[in-house]
C-alpha cells in the first residue's frame, strides 16, 4: 500500500511539474495517497480567498485554515507548499509581491497553530496562474487566493 | 545641419503646414544648437513628411528582390513613426536608372515629395553586398548630409535597411536613432488558464522572430543588458521565482548568485555592471542591487511595504521604483547609496512599473485608475504627467533607444483575452500593434546594435 501511494504521488508530482526535470529534484518527495489529496481539496478545503489588494485573512479563510491545521496535525511530517495568487487587475511585479504576502499570511497562521516550520514552503505566482478566466469580479474573487498543496515542499 | 529642422517644425506645426516649413527650415537650419525635446510635440496635427524611396538601383549582380526589399523596409520603418509618409511607387513619374545621374527634381516635386532616398545595391566578387544611399531635399534641390556606403553579408541586408532608416530619421528629425535594435519579450501560447510562456527576441519591426531555449517552466519579464548580448529574466525552474542571466549567443543560462527567498523584477544598470531587483523574504519585498563583478549584494530598502519594479537612472546614481508604503502603489526615487526614498507621483490612482528614459528626462509608468490601465510619462521630478494610452489592461512600458517611443503590452479581457505588444510615440500619437506570430507580452528594447 505504501509503495503504491508513493508511486501515485510521484506520478502526480511529475504530471504537475509538466516535464520539468529540475523541479522534481528540488522538492521533497513524501508519501500521500490520491484519496488523501482529494479529501484535503474537497472536504477540508485547500483554497482561501482574499479581498482586493489585501493579504489579511478573512473569517471564511480562517475557518478553512483551522480545518487545514487539524488535518495537517494528523498527517505528521507531511510537507506542504502554500501558493499565493492575485487577480489580473494589477501589474505583474506588484502581483508577485502581493501573492507572496498572501502565501506568507497563510504560513504565519499555520505556524501559530503549531504546524512545524520546516514542513511549509511558499511560492508566489502573482497573476500568472488564474483559476478562472472571465474578466469580472466573479472570476477575480476566485483568483485572489492562497492554495495549500499537500505532499510537496520546495527546497529553499 | 538640419537637426534643428524638426524642433522648429514641431513648434510651428500648430500654425503652419509641414510643406511650408520644409521649404524654409532647410534654409534656416544652419545653426548648430543641440536638438532638445519639445514637450509641445503632442499638440497640433502634424502633416507627415512626404517620402519617395524608389527600389534600390541594381548594380553588378544584385538580385531584384533585395533591391525592392531594402527600399520597402526603410519606408515601413519611417512610415511607422507617423512622421513620414511614403508615396506609393506607382505614383512615380520616373525611375532612377543610375546612382550617379543628376536627380531630376521636377520628377519628384510634381508628386509632392519632400525627401527622396536614392539607393543602390551591388554584389561584390567576395559575396558581400555593397549598399549605398543619398538623401535629397526636393524643394531645396540639395543633398541632406553626405551619402553613405555599407558592406555586409547578404543575410544581413535588413540591418542595412535599419541603419539607413536611422540615418534618414536622425538627419531629418534631429532625434536619436532606434530602428537598428531588437526586442526581447515573452511569447505566449495556449488558453488563458494554461498559458505556456517562452522567451523570444525579434527586430524592433517584428521581423526575425526567434524563440530562446530554456526549461519549460514559467518565465517573466526578460530585460536586455546594455551590450544587447545578454538578458536577465525571472524563471521558475526551481519551483520559485528566481533571477537568471542568459547569454544570447550560446543561450546558456546561469542563476544570479546570493539570492535567498524569491527574487524577481531585475534590470541592468546602464553600464551593465549592476543589477537592481526585488527580493521577497518572509513575505516582505524590498529592493536590492547586485554587483556582477564583485558579487556584492546591497539592500536599498527595508520598508515593510511592497517595494518592487526598480529601474536605474542613466547616470547610475538613482533608482526609481514603486512602493505601497504610502497606502497605494506610488513611484519613488532613491539614491543607489541608500537613504530616504522620495515620492514623485501624487496623482489619483495607482502607479507601477516605472522605467527611466535612456535620455534621463522622463519616467514611463503604468497607471491604474478607475478600473482602467494607462501607459504614461512624467518628468523625473513627477511633474508634467501625461497619460498616452488607455485600455482594459496596458502594462509594462519599455523605452526605445532614443527615448522617443515606448513599447508596452495590451491584454484583452475575458476568456479569450490575450496580450499583444504595441508601440506609441511619447507624444501620444501613432499607437501601433507589433505583428507577432503568437501572443506577446513583457517587451524590452535593446540599445542600438553595434
Domain count, chain A: 1
The answer to which of A10-14, B137-141, B252-256 has the lowest mean pLDDT is A10-14
Q: Does B215 touch chain A (CB under 8 A)?
A: yes
User: How close is the nearest chain A Cα to the Cα of B385, in Å?
Assistant: 19
Residue pairs spanning A and B at CB distance below 8 A: 122
The CATH number covering residue B284 comes to 2.120.10.30
Residue B385 domain-assigned (yes or no): yes
Give the confidence band of B424 by pLDDT, cuts at 50, 70, 90. very high
Q: Does B88 lie at the interface with A, CB-CB under 8 angstroms?
A: no
**End-to-end Cα separation, chain A, in angstroms:** 31
**Coil, strand, or helix at residue B168?**
helix
The alpha-carbon radius of gyration of chain B (Å, integer) is 23
In a domain, B10, yes or no: no
ipTM: 0.88
Whether the pLDDT of residue B102 is over 60: the answer is yes
Residue of A nearest to B370 (CA): A89
Please give the pLDDT value at position B338. Answer: 93
Each residue of A44-95: pLDDT tens digit? 999 999 999 999 999 999 999 999 999 999 998 899 999 999 999 999 999 9
Residue B440 pLDDT > 80, yes or no?
Answer: yes
Residue A115, number of CB atoms within 10 A of its CB: 19
Of B238, B306, B353, the CB nearest to A154: B238
pLDDT of residue A153: 83
Higher pLDDT, B62 or B304: B304
Q: Report the C-alpha gap between A77 and A97 in whole angstroms.
A: 29
A135 → closest Cβ in B220, B324, B413 = B413
Clarify whether residues B288 and B207 are in a common domain. yes
In this complex, do B282 and A104 lie within 8 Å of one another by their Cβ atoms? Answer: yes
pLDDT score at B258: 72
Tell me what the pLDDT averaged over chain A comes to. 85
Beta bridge partners of B342: B333
In terms of domains, do B102 and B236 share one?
no
Q: Which residues of B touch A24 (CB under 8 A)?
A: none
Q: How many CB atoms lie within 10 A of CB B328?
A: 15
B188 CB near a chain A CB, below 8 Å? no
d(CA B385, CA B326): 20
Order of strands, sheet of B262-268, starting from the edge strand that comes earlier in the sequence: B262-268, B274-281, B284-291, B297-299
Taking CB atoms and an 8 Å limit, are B309 and A131 in contact across chains? no
A58-62, B152-156, B220-224, B421-425: range with lowest mean pLDDT? B152-156
Record: contact A20-B217, CB cut-off 8 A: yes
- Which member of A18, A103, A133 has the closest CB to residue B192? A133
> How many Å apart are CA A64 and CA A56, to the nearest integer?
14
> Over 50: is that where the pLDDT of B327 sits?
yes
Read off the pLDDT of each residue in B221-225 and give the average, rounded to a whole number: 98
pLDDT at res. B61 = 85
Kindly give the residue spans of alpha helices, DSSP state H, lying in B85-141.
105-109
Q: For position A30, what pLDDT does the model report? A: 57
Better pLDDT: A31 or A111: A111
Q: Does B237 touch chain A (CB under 8 A)?
A: yes
B306 within domain boundaries: yes
pLDDT reading at B296 higher than 80: yes
Number of folded domains that form chain B: 2
Distance CA B60, CA B122 (A): 5
All residues of chain A having their beta carbon less than 8 Å from the beta carbon of residue B371 are 89
User: Is residue A18 pLDDT above 50, yes or no?
Assistant: no
Strands of B372-379's sheet, edge to edge? Answer: B350-356, B362-369, B372-379, B386-387
Q: What integer pLDDT is reported at residue B295 of this predicted model?
A: 84
Residue matched to cell numbers 532616398: B117
Place A19 in a pLDDT band, splitting at 50, 70 and 90. Answer: very low
Phi, psi of B274 (to 5 degrees): -130, 160
Is the same domain home to B209 and B107?
no
Asked if the Cβ–Cβ distance from B368 to A89 is below 8 Å, we say yes
- Going by C-alpha positions, the residue among B188, B173, B191 that lies closest to residue B218 is B188
Q: Any chain B CB within 8 A of the CB of A97?
A: yes
B182-214 residue pLDDT tens? 999 999 999 999 999 999 999 999 999 999 999
Whether residues B327 and B437 fall in one domain = yes
Q: What is the CATH number of the domain that holds A55?
A: 3.30.1330.60
Q: Nearest residue of A to residue B349 by CA position?
A: A90
Residues B164 and B246 in one domain: no
pLDDT at residue B407 in the model: 98
The helix (H) or strand (E) run that includes residue B36 is none
Q: What is the mean pLDDT of chain B?
A: 90
Looking at the domain assignment, is residue B328 inside a domain?
yes
Q: Which residue range(s) make up the domain with A140?
A: 2-154
B56 contacts B69 by C-beta, under 8 angstroms: no
What is the rounded (10 degree) CA torsion for B202, B208, B211, B213?
-100
- pLDDT of A23 strictly over 70: no
Distances (CA, A) of B374 to A58, A81, A94, B326, B397: 31, 35, 16, 21, 10
In this structure, the answer to whether residues B131 and B168 fall within a common structural domain is yes
Specify the range with the lowest mean pLDDT, choosing from B6-15, B99-108, B237-246, B286-295: B6-15
Of the pLDDT bands very low, low, confident and very high (cuts 50, 70, 90), residue B33 is: very low
pLDDT tens, position by position, B63-98: 889 999 999 999 999 999 999 999 999 999 999 989
Q: Compare B434 and B21 and report the one with higher pLDDT.
A: B434
Given CB atoms, is A111 within the 8 Å cutoff of chain B?
A: no
Return the beta strands (E) in B67-123 as ranges: 84-86, 115-123
- pLDDT band, residue A32 (cuts 50/70/90): confident
In a domain, B438, yes or no: yes
Q: Residue B171 is inside which H or E element, if any?
A: helix B157-173
Residue B37 included in any domain:
no
As given in the structure block, the three cell numbers for residue B427 are 507624444
Contacts of A105 in chain B (CB under 8 A): 283
HSE-up of B172 (CA within 13 Å, CB side)?
27
- Beta strand B115-123 with B142-143 is unpaired
**Min distance A36 CA to chain B CA atoms (Å):** 23
Domain closes at, from B146, B173, B200: B173
Beta bridge partners of A43: none
Domain membership of residue B36 (yes or no) is no
Q: Which of B173, B199, B216 delimits the end of a domain?
A: B173
| Co-location of B100 and B68 in the same domain | yes
* Mean per-residue pLDDT, A18-36: 56
A82 within 8 A of A121, measured Cβ to Cβ:
yes
| pLDDT above 90 coverage of chain B, percent | 84
Residues B233 and B162 in one domain: no
Tell me the shortest Cα–Cα distance from A89 to chain B, in angstroms.
8
Domain that holds residue B140: 48-173
A96 contacts B264? CB cut-off 8 A: yes
Domain end among B126, B154, B173: B173
Is B355's pLDDT higher than 80? yes
Amino acid at each position: 500500500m505504501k509503495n503504491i501511494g508513493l508511486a501515485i504521488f510521484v506520478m502526480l508530482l511529475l504530471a504537475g511539474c509538466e516535464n520539468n526535470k529540475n523541479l522534481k529534484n528540488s522538492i521533497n518527495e513524501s508519501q500521500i495517497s490520491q484519496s488523501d489529496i482529494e479529501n484535503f481539496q474537497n472536504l477540508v478545503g485547500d483554497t482561501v480567498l482574499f479581498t482586493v489588494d489585501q493579504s489579511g485573512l478573512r473569517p471564511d479563510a480562517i475557518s478553512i485554515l483551522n480545518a487545514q491545521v487539524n488535518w495537517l496535525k494528523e498527517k505528521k511530517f507531511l510537507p506542504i507548499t502554500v501558493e499565493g495568487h492575485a487577480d489580473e487587475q494589477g501589474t505583474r511585479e506588484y502581483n508577485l509581491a502581493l501573492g507572496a504576502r498572501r502565501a506568507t499570511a497563510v504560513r504565519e497562521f499555520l505556524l501559530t497553530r503549531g504546524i512545524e516550520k520546516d514542513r511549509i514552503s511558499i511560492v508566489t505566482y502573482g497573476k500568472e496562474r488564474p483559476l478562472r478566466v472571465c474578466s469580472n469580479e466573479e472570476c477575480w474573487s476566485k483568483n485572489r487566493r492562497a492554495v495549500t498543496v499537500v505532499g510537496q515542499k520546495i527546497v529553499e | 545641419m538640419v537637426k534643428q529642422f524638426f524642433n522648429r517644425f514641431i513648434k510651428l506645426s500648430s500654425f503652419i503646414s509641414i510643406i511650408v516649413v520644409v521649404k524654409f527650415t532647410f534654409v534656416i537650419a544652419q545653426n548648430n544648437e543641440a536638438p532638445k525635446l519639445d514637450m509641445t510635440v503632442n499638440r497640433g496635427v502634424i502633416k507627415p513628411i512626404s517620402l519617395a524611396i524608389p527600389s534600390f538601383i541594381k548594380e553588378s549582380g544584385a538580385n531584384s528582390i533585395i533591391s525592392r526589399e531594402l527600399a520597402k523596409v526603410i519606408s515601413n520603418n519611417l512610415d511607422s513613426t507617423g512622421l513620414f509618409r511614403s508615396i506609393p511607387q506607382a505614383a512615380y513619374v520616373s525611375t532612377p536608372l543610375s546612382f550617379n545621374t543628376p536627380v531630376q527634381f521636377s520628377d519628384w516635386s510634381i508628386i509632392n515629395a519632400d525627401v527622396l532616398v536614392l539607393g543602390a545595391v551591388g554584389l561584390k566578387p567576395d559575396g558581400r553586398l555593397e549598399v549605398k544611399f543619398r538623401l535629397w531635399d526636393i524643394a531645396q534641390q540639395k543633398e541632406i548630409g553626405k551619402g553613405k556606403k555599407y558592406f555586409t553579408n547578404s543575410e544581413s541586408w535588413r540591418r542595412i535597411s535599419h541603419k539607413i532608416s536611422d540615418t534618414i530619421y536622425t538627419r531629418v528629425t534631429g532625434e536619436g536613432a532606434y530602428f537598428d535594435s531588437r526586442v526581447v519579450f515573452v511569447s505566449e501560447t495556449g488558453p488563458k488558464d494554461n498559458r505556456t510562456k517562452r522567451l523570444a527576441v525579434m527586430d524592433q519591426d517584428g521581423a526575425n522572430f526567434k524563440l530562446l531555449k530554456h526549461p519549460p517552466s514559467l518565465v517573466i519579464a526578460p530585460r536586455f543588458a546594455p551590450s544587447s548580448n545578454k538578458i536577465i529574466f525571472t524563471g521558475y525552474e526551481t519551483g520559485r521565482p528566481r533571477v537568471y542571466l542568459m547569454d544570447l549567443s550560446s543561450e546558456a543560462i546561469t542563476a544570479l548568485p546570493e539570492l535567498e527567498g524569491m527574487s524577481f523584477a531585475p534590470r541592468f544598470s546602464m553600464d551593465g555592471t549592476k543589477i537592481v531587483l526585488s527580493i521577497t523574504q518572509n513575505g516582505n519585498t524590498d529592493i536590492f542591487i547586485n554587483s556582477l563583478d564583485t558579487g556584492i549584494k546591497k539592500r536599498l530598502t527595508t520598508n515593510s511595504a511592497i517595494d518592487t519594479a526598480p529601474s536605474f537612472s542613466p547616470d547610475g546614481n538613482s533608482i526609481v521604483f514603486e512602493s505601497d508604503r504610502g497606502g497605494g502603489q506610488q513611484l519613488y526615487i532613491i539614491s543607489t547609496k541608500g537613504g530616504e526614498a522620495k515620492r514623485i507621483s501624487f496623482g489619483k490612482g495607482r502607479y507601477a512599473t516605472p522605467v527611466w528614459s535612456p535620455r534621463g528626462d522622463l519616467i514611463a509608468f503604468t497607471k491604474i485608475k478607475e478600473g482602467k490601465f494607462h501607459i504614461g510619462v512624467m518628468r523625473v521630478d513627477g511633474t508634467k504627467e501625461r497619460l498616452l494610452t488607455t485600455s482594459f489592461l496596458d502594462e509594462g512600458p519599455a523605452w526605445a533607444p532614443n527615448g522617443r517611443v515606448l513599447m508596452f503590452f495590451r491584454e484583452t479581457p475575458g476568456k479569450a483575452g490575450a496580450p499583444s505588444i504595441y508601440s506609441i510615440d511619447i507624444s501620444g500619437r501613432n499607437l501601433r500593434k507589433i505583428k507577432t506570430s503568437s501572443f506577446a507580452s513583457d517587451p524590452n528594447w535593446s540599445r542600438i546594435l553595434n
